[in-house]
Chain A
Amino acid sequence: MTLEARALLALAGVYDPELDEAITRLGFVESCVISDAGDVHVRLRLPTPQCAPNFAYLMAADARAALRRLPDARSVTVTLQDHYTAAEINAAVARDAGFDGAFPGETEGDLAALRALFQRKALLARQGRVCAALLAGCSPERLVTLRVADLPDIHEARRCVALRRELGLPHGPDAPAFVAGDGSPIPAEQLRRWLRRAQLVGTSLESNGGLCRSLLAARTRMEAAA
C-alpha cells in the first residue's frame, strides 16, 4: 500500500468526537498530499468558521497523532483551514502544545473530560442501535444476559467495544453486551427506558451530523460560486 493510501486509512480512524463519525466520512479532510520525500500535508476544513474550538483542536491533534504513527512518514503537518482560531490551533498542534497551549489563560483543564463525555454519548447511541436491532428477535430478559462475545461482528458493535476500552469500562468477551455508564449491566425491567434514552442521544448525534453535512455542502457551493 502506498503511503498516501495508508495516510488516508489512518485519517479514516480519526473521529469527530462530538459526532462520533470519521472525519473522512464527514468530508472534513480537504486534502492529503504526500511529497516525494515522504512529508505528509493534511488540510482539514470544518462546516463553519465558528465551529467550537475544543472539538476542532481534538480533530487536528488526533489526525496528526494518527499520521505520525506511520513509520515512513518523514514529517507530518496538519492544518485547520478557514477557522477563526486556525492560527492558534495550528501553532499549538504543530508543537504538541496541547489545548491550553493554544489558548493560554482561557482553559481550566485539558480536553480529556470533554472527550470522555462525548465518548459516553457515542457509546450510548451505538449500543442503542445494536440493541434495538437485536430486540427484533430476542426478549429483553434474554437480551440483558448477552455477552460481548455474542455481539454481531459489525462495525457498530466493534465501535462500542472500542469506546468501552477507551473509557476504561469492561469490554472483554465475557463482559455484558450492553452496559450502563458505570459499566454495570442493564436490568431487564429498565431496558425499554434505557433504550429510549439511547435512541434520543442517537437521534441527536445523527441529526447534528446531518446539519454539519448540509452546512459544509453550502459552504463549498458558496465558495465555488464566489
Chain B
Amino acid sequence: MYEKDGERYFVVDSHLHFWDASPENWVPGQERYAKGWIECFHAYQTLAPPETHWPLEKFQKYTEEDFQHDVFDEGYVDVGIFQSTYLKEWYVNGFNAIDQNASLLERFPGQLKVNGRFDPRDGEAGLRQLEEDHARYGIQGVKLYTAEWRQGSRGWSLADPAAGAYLEKCQELGINNIHVHKGPTIWPLDKDSFDVRDVDYAATTYPELNFIVEHVGLPRIEDFCFMATQEPNVYAGLSVVIGGFMHARPRFFNKVMGELLFWVGEDKMLFGSDYGIWLPKWQIERFVDWEFPDDPEYSDYPRLTTEGKKKILGLNAARLYGIDVPAEALPVADGARLVEEAA
C-alpha cells in the first residue's frame, strides 16, 4: 500500500513480467530477432529516470530477488498480474511463458496472479492448453499479442473466426479479462498492424468479456479512444503511458492523460508498470504527485482527483479481478455505503 499525505493507495500492478531474454534462451538461427526484441525494450527503459536504468546484461535476465525488491519491497505493489508473453519463435523457453511467471507464485502467495495466453493458430491443441492453464493456475485473464510470429505467419486478428472459438472458451471458463497488445507486424503487411478494429469487433461480439487494450493502443491512441467511447467493456492499460512519457516527455504525458480522461474516463483506466521495462516505485510516486500544469493547453481536460488516482492505481483492476481491497483503502463514498448497508 502506498501512503502519501494521509491517503492510502491500494496498488494493483496489472502489467508485470518475469522474463528470460539471456543469450542462452535465444533460438539458434533467430538470434537477431531475440537480440533485437530485448534491445528495443532496453531502449524503452532509458525513458525512465536515469537512476532506475539497468545494464543490458541485468535487463536480459533479472532474479527473483530483484523482482521482490523492485515490485514488493520498494515498489508499493499489493497485487501484481503477470502478462505472459511467449515469442517461442525467438526464445527457446518463451520470453516469459506462463510457467516461468508462475514459478514466482509460491514465493509470494496471494500477491501475484498469472495470466495465460492463446494463439488461434494453435488450433485444437491450443484450446486444450488453455483449459489446462486454467485448471492449473486458475487464470482469470489472458494476454494476447497479435503481432507474434509463428512458422512463417506474421500475426493474427481477433476478428479471425479461429479466434472466436478461443474467446468462447474464455467465456465458458470464466477467463474474463482479455489483455490485447498490438505490435508492428501482421498479415497482410500492407495493412496497419496497430489497427484496433478487431478488438472492437470482439468486444461487441463478447460483451461479457473485458478487453483491456495494453499501452492504450499506442501508437493508435486515437483509434483506441474512439472505440472505448462506444464499447462499455473496453479498458485502457496504462503501461508505457506512465513509464514512457511521464519522465521523458511530460508535456505529452499531460496531453495523453487528458485525452484518456476525456474519452475513456478514470473508471476504465488501469495502472501497469510493465516491469522489468520500468520500475513501479517512481511511476507510482510521481503519478500520485501529478497534476495538470496551470496552462491553457490543458484547461479543457477533466481533472483527476485523489479518488480518481486510487481507482487507476488499483481499485479498477481489483474490480475486474475480484481482488479484496482493505477497508482503509476504499474510497470514502464506498466506505460510507458499506457502513450503511451493514446497518
- Interface residues of chain A, those whose CB is within 8 Å of chain B, are 18, 48-54, 84, 99-100, 103, 106-111, 113-114, 117, 121, 196-197, 199-201, 203-204, 206-208, 210-211, 214-215, 218-219, 221-222
* Option from B44, B190, B225, B245 in Cβ contact (under 8 Å) with A111: B190
- A215 to chain B: which residues have CB within 8 Å? 40, 43-44
CA separation between A109 and B259, bound complex, in Å? 34
**B192, A114: Cβ atoms closer than 8 Å:** yes
Closest to B56 in A: A222
CA separation between A100 and B221, bound complex, in Å? 28
**B100 on interface, CB distance cutoff 8 Å:** no
CA separation between A139 and B184, bound complex, in Å? 42
**A50, B188: Cβ atoms closer than 8 Å:** no
CA separation between A222 and B252, bound complex, in Å? 24
- B185 to chain A: which residues have CB within 8 Å? 52-53
* Option from A84, A196, A204, A211 in Cβ contact (under 8 Å) with B244: A211
Binds A, one of B31-39, B79-87, B134-142, B325-333: B31-39
- A51 to chain B: which residues have CB within 8 Å? 184
**B222 on interface, CB distance cutoff 8 Å:** yes
**A106, B188: Cβ atoms closer than 8 Å:** yes
Closest to B37 in A: A50
**A219, B43: Cβ atoms closer than 8 Å:** yes
**A114, B190: Cβ atoms closer than 8 Å:** yes
* Option from B33, B192, B219, B225 in Cβ contact (under 8 Å) with A208: B219
Chain B residues bordering chain A, tally (CB within 8 A): 40
Q: Mark B172-199, 1 if CB is under 8 A from A, else 0.
A: 0000000000001101111111100000
CA separation between A208 and B225, bound complex, in Å? 15
Interface centre among A103, A204, A215 (most CB of B within 10 A): A204
CA separation between A53 and B187, bound complex, in Å? 12
- B107 to chain A: which residues have CB within 8 Å? none
- B191 to chain A: which residues have CB within 8 Å? 54, 108, 114
**A206, B252: Cβ atoms closer than 8 Å:** yes
- A113 to chain B: which residues have CB within 8 Å? 190
**B32, A84: Cβ atoms closer than 8 Å:** yes
**A207, B249: Cβ atoms closer than 8 Å:** yes
Q: Mark B184-217, 1 if CB is under 8 A from A, else 0.
A: 1101111111100000000000000000000000
Q: How many A-B residue pairs have CB under 8 A?
A: 110
CA separation between A16 and B37, bound complex, in Å? 23
Closest Cβ of chain A to B18, distance in Å, is: 22
- A100 to chain B: which residues have CB within 8 Å? 190
**B218, A200: Cβ atoms closer than 8 Å:** no
Closest Cβ of chain A to B264, distance in Å, is: 11
- B219 to chain A: which residues have CB within 8 Å? 18, 204, 208, 211
* Option from B40, B221, B245 in Cβ contact (under 8 Å) with A200: B221
Closest Cβ of chain B to A53, distance in Å, is: 6
CA separation between A84 and B30, bound complex, in Å? 11
**B192, A214: Cβ atoms closer than 8 Å:** no
- B33 to chain A: which residues have CB within 8 Å? 84
Chain A interface mostly: helix
CA separation between A73 and B220, bound complex, in Å? 38
**A117, B256: Cβ atoms closer than 8 Å:** no
Q: A207-B245, A207-B255 are in contact. Are A200 and B263 (CB under 8 A)?
A: yes
Q: Which 3 A-B pairs have the closest CB atoms?
A: A207-B252, A108-B188, A218-B46
Closest to A195 in B: B300
User: Can you report 23 residue pairs joining A to B where beta carbons are below 8 Å apart?
Assistant: A50-B37, A52-B184, A53-B185, A53-B189, A99-B189, A106-B189, A109-B188, A121-B222, A197-B226, A200-B222, A200-B226, A200-B263, A203-B252, A204-B221, A207-B245, A210-B252, A211-B219, A211-B244, A214-B244, A215-B43, A215-B44, A222-B43, A222-B46
Closest Cβ of chain B to A194, distance in Å, is: 13
**B47 on interface, CB distance cutoff 8 Å:** yes
**B248 on interface, CB distance cutoff 8 Å:** yes
- A211 to chain B: which residues have CB within 8 Å? 218-219, 244-245, 249
**A107, B255: Cβ atoms closer than 8 Å:** no
Closest Cβ of chain B to A118, distance in Å, is: 8
**B150 on interface, CB distance cutoff 8 Å:** no
**B8 on interface, CB distance cutoff 8 Å:** no
- B154 to chain A: which residues have CB within 8 Å? 106
- A48 to chain B: which residues have CB within 8 Å? 40, 43
**A204, B222: Cβ atoms closer than 8 Å:** yes
- A107 to chain B: which residues have CB within 8 Å? 188-190
Query: Beyond the given A109-B188, A121-B222, could you list 7 further A-B residue pairs with CB under 8 A, ordered by the A residue number?
Result: A48-B43, A53-B189, A206-B252, A207-B221, A207-B252, A207-B256, A214-B46
CA separation between A215 and B226, bound complex, in Å? 27
- A196 to chain B: which residues have CB within 8 Å? 262
- A117 to chain B: which residues have CB within 8 Å? 192
* Option from A84, A108, A210, A222 in Cβ contact (under 8 Å) with B249: A210
- A111 to chain B: which residues have CB within 8 Å? 190
Closest to B224 in A: A204
- B255 to chain A: which residues have CB within 8 Å? 203, 206-207
- A106 to chain B: which residues have CB within 8 Å? 154, 187-189
Closest Cβ of chain A to B141, distance in Å, is: 26
Closest to B258 in A: A203
- B46 to chain A: which residues have CB within 8 Å? 214, 218, 221-222
